[in-house]
Amino acid sequence: MALAREELVRVGEMFNTPDVISQAVSSLELALRDHTLLEVAGWPAARTEMLRQLVQDLQGRHATYAAKAGTKKATRAELLEELLRAKRWKGIAVAIGQNALDETAEEREKLFQHVKPVRSDAGRLLAQIRGLLDVANANTTAFRAAGATDAFLAEGNAIAADLEDAIGRKAITKRALPGDKDVLDELDGRVWYALKALHRSGRATHLAAGDRARANEYSFDLLYRRRPRRTGVTTPGATPPVPPA
């Protein structure tokens, strides 16, 4: 009976994909080495090929996911840069506004609606920048007399546009990753179950021949980060290439 996707995801999400790939590549090397013995122990060559293709798919999807995650990290950094830029402009705009509207209570009250600290809330900061620009545009003469130049006001408009763009990019990358992660978890689960069957056959055939050392090679030592127990098989790196068919 085929395993439910939920079960595969549940198992897969327990592991880091690079560790699953390392374990799978190492175990595939054993399967290629012992293919004759495995044929009579419930693991035909077709299953080795199936596992090899599955791991190749996992490697490709993980590379795509890692690239997207890198984009997400870069997008987060871009948003942080825009936040800092906006906060610097806001600080100067508030000071200019206070000086410009020192004797105008109603307009000064409007200014104060946009001065509260917002920490890292980009949406609230964007609203404050736009609010300050509205106050400045409604009191152009006073703001210019207090030191607001055309360049400063233009910078405020550019900051608002750039901050809005950064917020949008972050939202897009945030939505893109969860579904990809579920696919990776499912593939990790499929590989784990396939390796479990391979290891069962490998251990059985070598124990039957009285070779406990080689039987012990069929373990999840890399996945569970135990000391590698290899005899004549090279331990792979984090994301090694899949052995050729």
Q: Identify whether 106 is part of a domain.
A: yes
Number of domains in the chain: 1
Q: Is residue 228 part of a domain?
A: no
Q: pLDDT grade, residue 26 (50/70/90)?
A: very high
Cα–Cα distances in angstroms (integers) from residue 232 to residues 63, 188, 220, in the given order: 29, 26, 17
pLDDT digits (tens, 9 = 90+) for 184-193: 999 999 999 9
Whole-model pTM: value is: 0.55
Segment among 5-9, 63-67, 108-112 with least mean pLDDT: 63-67
How far CA 185 is from CA of 15, 20, 191, in Å, comes to 8, 10, 10
Q: How confident is the model at residue 230 (pLDDT cuts 50, 70, 90)?
A: very low
Provide the pLDDT confidence category of residue 114 given band limits of 50, 70 and 90. Answer: very high
Residue 59 inside a domain? The answer is: yes
Name the DSSP letter for residue 234: P
Query: Is residue 157, in this structure, part of any structural domain at all?
Result: yes
Residue 238, pLDDT above cutoff 60:
no
Asked whether residue 198 is assigned to any structural domain, the reply reads: yes
Task: Tell me how far apart the alpha carbons of residues 106 and 120 are, in angstroms, rounded to a whole number.
Answer: 29
Give the contacts of 204 (CB within 8 A, at least 6 positions apart).
Answer: 41, 42, 215
More confident residue, 161 or 79: 161
Q: Considering the domain boundaries, does residue 35 fall inside one?
A: yes
Q: Can you spell out the DSSP letters for the chain?
A: -PPPHHHHHHHHTTS-HHHHHHHHHHHHHHHHHTHHHHHTTT--HHHHHHHHHHHHHHHHHHHHHHHHHHHHHHHHHHHHHHHHHHHHHHHHHHHHHHHHTTT-HHHHHHHHTT-S--TT-HHHHHHHHHHHHHHHHHTHHHHHHTT--HHHHHHHHHHHHHHHHHHHHHHHHHHHHHHHHHHHHHHHHHHHHHHHHHHHHHHHHHHHTT-HHHHHHSS-TTTTT-----SS-PPP-SSPPPPP-
- Whether 204 is covered by a domain: the verdict is yes
Domain span including residue 160: 5-217
Residue 87 is assigned to a structural domain of this protein: yes
